[in-house]
Amino acid sequence: MSAPRTLFDKLWDAHLVKAPTPATPGILYIDLHLIHEVTSPQAFAELRARNLTVRCPERTLATLDHSTPTTPFDDLGQPVYASEEAAAQVAELEKNCAQFGIRLNGWSSDHRGIVHVIGPELGATRPGMTIVCGDSHTSTHGAFGALAFGIGTTEVGHVLATQCLLQSKPKTLAIHVDGSLPRGTSAKDLVLHIIGKIGVNGGTGHVIEYRGAAISALTMEQRMTVCNMSIEAGARAGLIAPDQVTYDYLRGRPYAPQGEDWDKAVAEWNALRSDAGASYDREVHIDASQVRPTVTYGTHPGMVVALDAAVPAATSLQDRRALDYMRVEAGKPLTGMAVDVVFVGSCTNSRLSDLRDAADVLRGRKLAERVRMLVVPGSLAIKREAEQEGLDQVFRAAGAEWREPGCSMCIAMNGDLAQPGQLVVSTSNRNFEGRQGPGARTVLASPAVAAASAVAGCITDPQSLLQEQAA
C-alpha cells in the first residue's frame, strides 16, 4: 500500500510529466489555461518571435475583464474605453485569439465576465484539474479541488507553447476551520479573519488546503471567496476537496461532462481528498465560532479587525504609516468612519449570492448622501440572473450604479476609480495604497457590510440595519 497522500499530492502527482530532480524543476501538465487582455500580449509576441504556435487552443479560454469599461455601451452599441491603450489591448487579445484559434468570451459573448467568475460558471473549472492564469487570484478555482495558481507572462508563454509549466514542489499547509460560522458572518469575514491570523506572508511557498466542518458547510460561492484570497496570505494556491456541494454546483453547466461521463467523473472526483493520516508541512486551527464581521484597517489584507473591536496600536513604522495613510486612529473601532465610495464587485464577491446579500440590506433604503456606490456583477450571466430577480431595481432605487460586468474598481485600470483621499468600502481583495486610485483608501469588507456602510454613510455593522428591519 502506498503512503497516505494529501489532496495536493494527488493533484501534483497526476500532472507530473517529469518529476523534479536536484538539477531541474518538475514539468507540470496544465489542463486549463485562462487568459485575459492584460498579462497575455507579451506572451503572444514571444510566440510570434519564435515562430511557435499554441499547443492546445482547446485548453485555453480567454475573456475580457481588467481594462474593459463597465459603463453602458454607446449609441452604436460599442464599449466606451477609458483610454486608447485599453482599447488597443483588447483589440490585441481579439487578434491573438482569432489567429491562434482560442475561444474568446468577448464583447459579443453571453459568457463575458471576470476570468475567475466565468471559469466555474461555465463548468470549465472542475475537480482534479490543473488551472493557471496570468493573474494571482487564480487561486479561486481551488474551491473545486483543482490545483490552480497565478503565473507571470513569461509562464503564460510557456503554457501557450507547451501546455506545461516548470514547477518546484510547494509545501502544504492545512487550515482546519472547526465549528460553525455565527449568524451574520460571511465567507469574506472568515477569510479576512484567517489572513489576520496567519499574516500576509503566512502561506508563502505553501498550497493551503482548507478543511473542517465550517468549510464543508460553505456553498460553492462562499468557498470561492475563501480560496480567492489565499494569495493574500502569500500562498501559491488554496484548495478545498470536492464533495456533493461541488457536484451539485457543476451538474448541467455548459462544459461539465454529461450523462455517463458525468457519473464516471464523479466517481473519480470522489477520490480527490486527503487520505487519513496524510501529513502536511504545517497545520493551523481556526475556530469559526470566533469569527465576527471583519474589515481591514490598514494597507494590506493582513491588517484586519472585527467591526466591533478597537484598531490595534501600531507596533512598527510600517503600521504607523499605514494608519496615517488610512487616517485611522488606533484604540477605536472602525465603525462610524465616514465613507465616500462603496464598491460591490470583483472575483472575491461579485456572484449572485453576494449581490443578494447587498440587496437584502439595501432593499427599501437609500444611500446616504454623498456616498457613491457601484455594483458590478462578475459576469454577464450573473447580471442577467440578478435582473431577473429584480436586484438591479433594488440597487437603482437605493441610488447605486448598476454596471456592466468586469474587474472595475477592484484594480481601477478601466476608468472606474476613487479620488485621492476618498474612503472606499470594497468587497474586493486588496487594500494596497492606491489600488483603487492614487491616494484612495480601501477598507475590505463583505457585501453586507459594504451595503450597510453605503446606507449609513459610515462603516456600519449590517446587523443593526437588519434588526431594525425585522422589528
CA distance 70 to 82: 10
Q: Is 410 in the site for ligand SF4 (CB under 6 A)?
A: yes
Q: Which listed residue (134, 142, 345, 462) binds another protein by CB under 8 A?
A: 134
C-alpha Rg value of the chain to the nearest Å: 22
CA distance 87 to 107: 12
Looking at 5-13, 187-195, 315-323, 351-359, which segment touches another protein (CB under 8 A)?
A: 315-323
Q: CA 420 → CA 52, 80, 423, distances in Å?
A: 45, 24, 9
Residue 164 binds which entry of ligand SF4, another protein, none, CB below 5-8 Å type-dependent: another protein
CB 58 within 8 A of CB 97: no
Q: Which of 391, 399, 364 is nearest to 469 (CA)?
A: 364
Task: Give the distance from CA 364 to its chain's centroid.
Answer: 29
**Quick one: which H or E segment has residue 13?**
helix 7-14
Q: Is 315 in the site for another protein (CB under 8 A)?
A: no
Looking at 153-161, 215-223, 320-328, 403-411, which segment touches ligand SF4 (CB under 6 A)?
A: 403-411
**Residue 320: partners with Cβ closer than 8 Å, 6 or more residues away:** 314
Q: Which listed residue (53, 110, 432, 464) binds another protein by CB under 8 A?
A: 432
Q: Which listed residue (15, 112, 116, 435) binds ligand SF4 by CB under 6 A?
A: 116
**What length does the chain have?**
471
> What's the grid cell of residue 308?
466591533
Q: Is 66 in the site for ligand SF4 (CB under 6 A)?
A: yes
Q: Which of 409, 406, 405, 420 is nearest to 373 (CA)?
A: 409
Q: Which of 211, 248, 277, 253 is nearest to 3 (CA)?
A: 277
- Kindly state the smallest distance separating residue 170's Cβ from ligand SF4, in Å: 21
> What's the grid cell of residue 345?
464587485
- Kindly state the smallest distance separating residue 102's Cβ from ligand SF4, in Å: 18
Nearer to ligand SF4, 9 or 65 (CB): 65
CA distance 326 to 31: 42
Nearer to another protein, 140 or 335 (CB): 140
Q: Which of 142, 146, 179, 172 is nearest to 283 (CA)?
A: 172
Q: Is 450 in the site for ligand SF4 (CB under 6 A)?
A: no
Q: Is 409 in the site for another protein (CB under 8 A)?
A: no
Per-residue contact string for residues 451-470; x = within reach of another protein by CB under 8 A: --------------------
Residue 126 binds which entry of ligand SF4, another protein, none, CB below 5-8 Å type-dependent: none
* DSSP, res 349: S
Q: What is the dihedral of CA 420, 86, 105, 372, to 10 degrees?
A: 20
Per the DSSP assignment, residues forming a β-bridge with 411 are none
Q: Is 76 in the site for another protein (CB under 8 A)?
A: no
The site for ligand SF4, by CB under 6 A, has a size of 14
Residue 86 binds which entry of ligand SF4, another protein, none, CB below 5-8 Å type-dependent: another protein
Cβ neighbours, 10 Å, residue 326? 22
CA distance 386 to 446: 18
> What's the grid cell of residue 471?
422589528
Q: Is 407 annotated as ligand-binding?
A: yes
Per-residue contact string for residues 25-54; x = within reach of another protein by CB under 8 A: x-x-x-x------xx-xx--xx---x-x--
CB 304 within 8 A of CB 294: yes
Q: Is 97 annotated as ligand-binding?
A: no
Q: Which listed residue (86, 278, 394, 411) binds ligand SF4 by CB under 6 A?
A: 411
CB 250 within 8 A of CB 263: no
The site for another protein, by CB under 8 A, has a size of 69
Nearer to ligand SF4, 68 or 172 (CB): 68
Per CB under 6 A, residues contacting ligand SF4 are 65-66, 114-116, 135, 137, 346-347, 407, 410-411, 428-429
**Known binding-site residue numbers for [4Fe-4S] cluster:** 347, 407, 410
**Known binding-site residue numbers:** 347, 407, 410
Per CB under 8 A, residues contacting another protein are 17-18, 22-25, 27, 29, 31, 38-39, 41-42, 45-46, 50, 52, 55-56, 58, 66-67, 83, 85-86, 88-89, 92, 134-136, 150-155, 157-158, 161-164, 166, 168, 200-201, 204-205, 234, 236, 300, 302, 316-318, 321, 411-413, 417, 420, 430, 432-435, 438-439
